[in-house]
Amino acid sequence: MLAVAEASEAPSGAVWFINYLNAEFERLDDSARAWGQVPSSRPSRFVVVETAGGTQLTPVTYAVRLLVSSWETTTPKAERLAARVNALAQAAPRQVVGGVQCRAFESAGLPYDMPDPDAKVPRFRQNIVLHFRGQLL
Amino acid sequence: MAKSKIKLNSSEVRRVLKSREVQADLVSRAERVAAVAGSGFEVRTNIGPNRARAAVVAVSSKAQRAEAKSGALSKALDAGRG
């Protein structure tokens, strides 16, 4: 009998983090919402989460790097929103969203000021790394 | 069973971290990151008191814009692995 290797599929860290942030923003009665890209009807306070690569740690575990941008109407407000996102990211380990549990958080530096060059809208960016276990196919 | 004790020779560790081999490895990784990030990203190196360093810097306005708009450099970091 042939041994069949089990295939493991990485979860989408960006989708997980967007859903996690939106649940937390609601819980905190915060008007901010997270998206995968800048929404067409641009709100004054929002977060964009993009996948920026990562590493497969073992055959079934993944470290997903996310590029997270926090937009607000003023630079101090954008900085505070980014700090809130950072705090929520640090609290992500052991949280379960959509049946997927985040296993660890790695800081890849604190948020930094990087306004959008076209819109000139205040924006803080940060890179974070979240660990997940893949789903066996 | 007796426990082993490892004591690092700090000056030798520093020598290794500043060696030409480590410098070459860092430059190779940084060049891969710069290549994936796109044009206008340049590799810069220096040797600090304890270790060699390599950095990828956006030197053109086009590259700075690419990082600001789409995170071109942030998304290229994995090219430095391996």
pLDDT averaged over consecutive 10-residue blocks of chain B (82 residues)? 89 96 96 95 95 95 92 90 79
Q: How far from each other are the two terminal CA atoms of chain A, in whole angstroms?
A: 20
The Cα–Cα gap between B58 and A34 comes to 28
Mean pLDDT of A6-30: 92
Tell me whether residues A54 and B75 touch, CB distance under 8 A: no
Do A112 and A124 meet the contact criterion of CB atoms below 8 Å apart? yes
Q: What is the DSSP letter of B72?
A: T
Phi/psi at A11 (nearest 5 deg)? -75, 160
pLDDT for res A105? 96
Mean pLDDT, residues A39-54 taken together: 92
Confidence of residue A3 (pLDDT cuts 50, 70, 90): low
Query: How far is the C-alpha of A67 from the C-alpha of A127, rounded, in Å?
Result: 5
Question: Which among A36, A34, A11 has a CA at the least distance from the CA of A24?
Answer: A34
Interchain CB distance below 8 Å, B78 and A65: yes
Q: Does A67 touch chain B (CB under 8 A)?
A: yes
Q: Which residue from B65, B75, B78 is facing A67, i.e. has the nearest CB?
A: B75
The per-residue pLDDT for A108 is 82
Angstrom distance (rounded) from CA A67 to CA A69: 7
Which has the higher per-residue pLDDT, A120 or A32? Answer: A32
Distance (Å, rounded) from C-alpha A36 to C-alpha A19?
Answer: 10
Highest mean pLDDT among A26-35, A101-110, A117-126: A26-35
Q: Is B21 exposed, middle or buried (0-12, 13-18, 19+ CB in 10 A)?
A: exposed
Q: How confident is the model at residue A1 (pLDDT cuts 50, 70, 90)?
A: low
Q: What pLDDT shows up at residue A90?
A: 96
Q: How far is CA A94 from the centre of its chain?
A: 15
Q: Do A53 and B75 touch (CB under 8 A)?
A: yes
Give the residue on B whose Cα is nearest the Cα of A48.
B70
B17 or A59, greater pLDDT: B17
Cβ of B77 within 8 Å of Cβ of A116? The answer is: no
Question: Nearest CA of chain A to the CA of B32: how many Å?
Answer: 15
* Minimal CA separation from B79 to chain A, in Å: 9
- pTM of the full predicted structure? 0.83
A80 Cβ under 8 Å from any chain B Cβ = no
What is the per-residue pLDDT for A2?
54
Mean predicted confidence (pLDDT) in A117-129: 90
| pLDDT for position A9 | 81
- For a pLDDT cut of 70, what percent of chain A falls above it? 96
- Interchain pair B74, A114: CB under 8 A: no
What confidence tens digit (pLDDT) does each residue in A85-117 have? 999 999 999 999 988 899 999 988 899 998 888
Residues of B in contact with A50 (CB under 8 A): 71, 75
Residue B71 near residue B52 (C-beta atoms within 8 A): no
**Contact at CB, B68 and A55, closer than 8 angstroms:** no
Q: What is the largest CA-CA distance in chain A?
A: 65
CA distance B21 to chain A (A): 25
**Residue that has been written with the tokens 């998304």 in this structure:** B75
